[in-house]
Every structure is written in structure tokens, then in C-alpha cells.
């Protein structure tokens, strides 16, 4: 293994996190990561050894996702919640409910909005990096981000309201 392999290995956990959030199903998500790693290896010569390798890898993963994965039928994304280990004796039904609601809403977002939201809100890419990863103009990144956040906020807000007695 080379230093290139080293660089890639380091990024695997974050590629997996993004893929999991994007696809919900862990198995499909890891398949996407696997494809991405193989593609990255084969394109190794194209990586100019400068700066952060993360946007480069995420761009590769995004392209595979667009070309190969979007057609795959996805299972609804609630598995990660049931798989999430709850600390014993610390059940938080309300917050868990809100999380569940958010995860559902996230996977109901249009693909394009979800990608932007995850790259920026979860992976902390800059708007410019997200634009480059997704191959879209900066303005499009922003408008998708705004819509994604407003969508989720409305969902969550509605959810909270319906679960709280009105105190006003």
C-alpha cells in the first residue's frame, strides 16, 4: 500500500457516514463506498498530491451515485434508528421521535436537496466545495440548501407542535 492508500483509508469512515445518510441502507451504502474506493484507485494518477483529498473522493462517489446507484430501489431508511444503541436507562422518547421524524423527512427530500444538505450540514464542506463535488453552480447549491433546510424545519416544527400541548 502506498501513501495514496493511506490517504484513502483515512477517509473511509467519512465516506461511509455520507453514504449511509444518503442511502439509509447500510449494505447499499457500503457498496457505494466500495465502488468509490475502487474507482479512486484506478484514477490514482489523476490525484494531484495537493490539498485535501476529501472533495476529490466525494466527487468520485457522487458521480457513481448519480450514474449507478440512483436507479437502485432503496429501502425506507429507518434501520439506523433501530440499530442505534440506546444507553440503558436513558430512553429519550421525545428526542428519539424527533430524530426518527427527521430521518424520515430527510429521505423524503428530493435527492438533489439531500445531497447538498448532507455535504454542508453533515460533512461540513464549504459551499464552493459542495458545488465542485456535485458539479453544479454555487447559486444552485445555495438554493437547494435553503429549500432542504426549510423543508425539514417545517416538518420538524409541525411534528413538535403536534406532540406538545399548546401552552400559549
Partner 1 sequence: MNERQPQVTEQDIHAYVDGRLEPARHSEVEAYLNESDEARAQAAGYRQIDQALHTLYDPVLDEPVPPHLGIPANQGQSYRHLGWRMAVMLATLVIGAIGGWFGRGGLDGQPAQTASLFSNAYMAHVVYSPEVRHPVEVDAEQEQHLVTWLSKRLQAPVRAPVLSELGYQLLGGRLLASEGEPAAQFMYENAQGNRLTLFIRRNRQQAGDTAFRFDRNNGIQGFYWIDGELGYALIGEADRQLISRAAHRVYEQLALH
- Residue 47, interface with partner 1 (CB under 8 A)? no
- Residue 7, interface with partner 1 (CB under 8 A)? yes
Compute CA distances 140 → 19, 78, 123, 146, 167, whole Å.
22, 29, 18, 10, 40
Q: Which of residues 137-166 bind partner 1 (CB under 8 A)?
A: 142, 145-146, 149, 152-153, 156-157
Radius of gyration of the chain (CA): 18
- Residue 9, interface with partner 1 (CB under 8 A)? yes
Give the 3-state DSSP-derived string for 111-157, with helices as H, strands as E and coil as C.
HHHHHHHHHHHHCCCCHHHHHHHHCCCHHHHHHHHHHHHHHHHHHHH
- Residue 167, interface with partner 1 (CB under 8 A)? no
113 is written with which cell numbers? 436537496
- Residue 20, interface with partner 1 (CB under 8 A)? yes
Separation of alpha carbons 52 and 129, rounded Å: 11
92-121 footprint of partner 1 as x/- string (CB under 8 A): ------xx--xx--x----------xx-xx
Estimate to the nearest angstrom the gap between the alpha carbon of 21 and the chain centroid. Answer: 4
Residues at the interface with partner 1 (CB under 8 A) = 1-3, 5-7, 9-10, 12-14, 16-17, 20-21, 30, 33-34, 37-38, 40-42, 49-51, 80-81, 84, 98-99, 102-103, 106, 117-118, 120-122, 126-127, 142, 145-146, 149, 152-153, 156-157
Amino acid at each position: 500500500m502506498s501513501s495514496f492508500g493511506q490517504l484513502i483509508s483515512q477517509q473511509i469512515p467519512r465516506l461511509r457516514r455520507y453514504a449511509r445518510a444518503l442511502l439509509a441502507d447500510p449494505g447499499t451504502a457500503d457498496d457505494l463506498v466500495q465502488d468509490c474506493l475502487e474507482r479512486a484507485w484506478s484514477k490514482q494518477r489523476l490525484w494531484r498530491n495537493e490539498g485535501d483529498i476529501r472533495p476529490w473522493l466525494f466527487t468520485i462517489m457522487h458521480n457513481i451515485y448519480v450514474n449507478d446507484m440512483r436507479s437502485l430501489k432503496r429501502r425506507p431508511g429507518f434501520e439506523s434508528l433501530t440499530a442505534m444503541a440506546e444507553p440503558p436507562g436513558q430512553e429519550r422518547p421525545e428526542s428519539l421521535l424527533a430524530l426518527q421524524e427527521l430521518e424520515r423527512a430527510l429521505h423524503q427530500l428530493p435527492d438533489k436537496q439531500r445531497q447538498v444538505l448532507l455535504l454542508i450540514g453533515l460533512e461540513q464542506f464549504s459551499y464552493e466545495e459542495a458545488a465542485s463535488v456535485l458539479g453544479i453552480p454555487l447559486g444552485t447549491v445555495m438554493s437547494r440548501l435553503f429549500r432542504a433546510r426549510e423543508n425539514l424545519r417545517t416538518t420538524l416544527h409541525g411534528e413538535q407542535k403536534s406532540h406538545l400541548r399548546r401552552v400559549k
